[in-house]
């Protein structure tokens, strides 16, 4: 299968080239030429399949020209070596926990899958690839962990100074080896703008091979559809219509869920739950897309004012607003509402949600207000310990530190401070 640029002014490329390039020369995101639904029997028999078998069937059509089946199965087995449990909280509400991987965030799957793909591709060439990634929180740690020690790959992570949690910062600044952290005087949007600028910089592109590990990259974005299929497998026997509420920042995760829907997965509706960075909720009300500067919140991984993947979502529905509206609702919530939700969930069910999961819960409850209450699943995208100060203060409880986090607590932070694009460019050229 080939991938084309959504700006439609660049040549179509293979999966391998889409992964290595990251973004098309015309600044567009890559998108698969077609999405072929899986046979009905796949969904009828999904309870008999392992997570690795489900993932293989789902992703195979997108990569099979470039990665042999046996190698793809090997990659998936290594990527999916932890659980994705569903925890029931209320009669019609459950959460899908996506934080049982090495950095305790949902981005572990996409980062590890992309790292394995790049490692496989680089094994057949002497060319070094530099992975350039902006993070608003969890992406940096997941990418750093996924790519650590991968031959032929250097990783440069940009993150906004003072706008990620202490644990998130330690996860992306303390590993060393082939991982470098650049601490940017600015917001996540500033980091993302620098990354996009670098991909269009002729000087850089003449001297090095750059790719991105943000969800703009197809190998980071597409594997996120696995979560929704794993949830469907666990809930299929209930025979209820499913609604997924997804805490949304750059909108890659919910977009991948919609790809699972296009593959034939039965789902009633998606809810994009955001914090006060409400570009998409406003769009769903007005039909006008008006990006704006991001605002810092306690759910920092969603502090995105111009979500990159929303164009992919609109493309999935052929830019038909009515069709999109039938499948997607979007709501925004304040920090105060988020804290109240964390308290409510803890008081009601004894369950500790992180700020992002709490926003997902709020979005689901808001959607359920106006419906014959369907069964809803909100995604718990990061372990609450990653937002230790906020969560402990909100529920007045001391959290137990998991081993994955304890490992980074005592390590010394190492980052390079930058403020402007020219400093990023100089660093890349000087360290090539």
> How many other CB atoms are found less than 10 A from the CB of residue 369?
7
pLDDT at residue number 333: 98
pLDDT-derived band at 431 (thresholds 50, 70, 90) equals confident
| Contact indicator for 107, 133 with CB cutoff of 8 Å | no
Burial bucket for residue 266 (CB in 10 Å: 0-12, 13-18, 19+) = exposed
pLDDT at 125 over 80: no
- Number of helices (H), then strands (E), belonging to the chain: the values are 20, 14
Asked if 44 and 65 touch (Cβ cutoff 8 Å), the reply is no
Edge-to-edge strand ranges of the sheet holding 86-90: 86-90, 93-97, 375-380, 242-247, 269-274, 328-332
Confidence at residue 188, expressed as pLDDT on a 0 to 100 scale: 84
Q: What is the mean pLDDT of residues 243-251?
A: 96
Q: What percent of the chain has pLDDT over 90?
A: 72
Report whether pLDDT(135) > 90: no
pLDDT at 194 over 80: yes
pLDDT tens digits for 252-309?
Answer: 999 999 999 999 999 999 999 999 999 999 999 999 999 998 898 999 889 999 999 9
Per-residue pLDDT band for 239 (boundaries 50, 70, 90) equals confident
Unique residue bearing structure tokens 């937002």:
387
Three-state secondary structure call for residue 401: coil
User: Quick check: 127 pLDDT over 90?
Assistant: no
Q: What is the overall mean pLDDT for the chain?
A: 93
pLDDT in tens, 61-90: 999 889 999 999 999 999 999 999 999 999
**Residue 244 pLDDT > 90, yes or no?**
yes
How far apart (Å, rounded) are the C-alpha atoms in residues 124 and 318? 38
Listed by start position, the domains of the chain span 83-102+221-399
The closest of 94, 86, 83 to 378, measured between CA atoms, is 94
CATH architecture type of domain 83-102+221-399? 3-Layer(aba) Sandwich (3.40)
More confident position, 150 or 57: 57
Residue with the larger pLDDT of the pair 140 and 379: 379
Question: How many residues are given for the chain?
Answer: 432
Share of the chain above pLDDT 70, in %: 99
Mean pLDDT of 92-100: 96
Q: Tell me the backbone φ, ψ of residue 266, rounded to 5 degrees.
A: -65, 120
Model confidence pTM above 0.75:
yes
């Amino acid at each position: 299968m080939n991938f084309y640029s959504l700006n439609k002014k660049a040549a179509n490329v293979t999966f391998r080239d889409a992964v290595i390039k990251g973004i098309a020369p015309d600044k567009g995101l890559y998108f698969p030429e077609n999405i072929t639904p899986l046979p009905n029997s796949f969904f009828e028999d999904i309870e008999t399949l392992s997570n690795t078998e489900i993932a293989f069937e789902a992703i195979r059509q997108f990569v099979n020209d470039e990665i042999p089946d046996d190698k793809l199965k090997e990659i998936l087995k290594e990527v999916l070596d932890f659980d994705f449990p569903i925890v029931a909280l209320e009669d019609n509400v459950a959460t899908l926990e996506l934080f049982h991987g090495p950095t305790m965030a949902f981005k572990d799957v996409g980062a590890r899958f992309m790292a394995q793909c790049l490692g496989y591709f680089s094994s057949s060439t002497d060319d070094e690839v530099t992975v350039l990634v902006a993070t608003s929180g969890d992406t940096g740690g997941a990418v750093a962990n996924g790519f650590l020690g991968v031959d032929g790959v250097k990783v440069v992570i940009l993150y906004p100074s003072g706008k990620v949690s202490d644990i998130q910062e330690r996860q992306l600044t303390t590993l060393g080896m082939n991982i470098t952290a650049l601490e940017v005087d600015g917001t996540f949007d500033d980091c993302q703008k620098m990354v996009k600028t670098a991909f269009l910089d002729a000087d850089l592109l003449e001297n090095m091979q750059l790719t991105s590990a943000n969800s703009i990259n197809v190998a980071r974005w597409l594997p996120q559809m696995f979560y929704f299929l794993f949830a469907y497998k666990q809930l299929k026997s209930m025979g209820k219509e499913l609604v997924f509420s997804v805490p949304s920042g750059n909108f890659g995760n919910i977009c991948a869920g919609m790809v699972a829907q296009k593959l034939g997965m039965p789902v009633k509706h998606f809810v994009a739950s955001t914090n006060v960075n409400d570009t998409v909720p406003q769009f769903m009300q007005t039909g006008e897309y008006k990006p704006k500067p991001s605002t810092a919140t306690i759910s920092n991984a969603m502090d995105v004012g111009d979500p990159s993947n929303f164009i992919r979502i609109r493309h999935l529905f052929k830019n038909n607003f009515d069709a999109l509206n039938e499948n997607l609702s979007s709501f925004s919530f304040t920090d105060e509402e988020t804290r109240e939700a964390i308290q409510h969930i803890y008081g009601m069910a004894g369950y500790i949600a992180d700020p992002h999961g709490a926003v997902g819960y709020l979005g689901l409850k808001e959607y359920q207000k106006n419906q014959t209450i369907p069964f809803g699943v909100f995604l718990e995208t990061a372990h609450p310990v990653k937002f230790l100060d906020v969560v402990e203060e909100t529920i007045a409880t001391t959290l137990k530190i998991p081993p994955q986090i304890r490992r980074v607590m005592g390590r010394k932070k190492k980052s390079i401070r930058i403020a402007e694009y020219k400093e990023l460019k100089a660093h890349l050229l000087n360290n090539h």
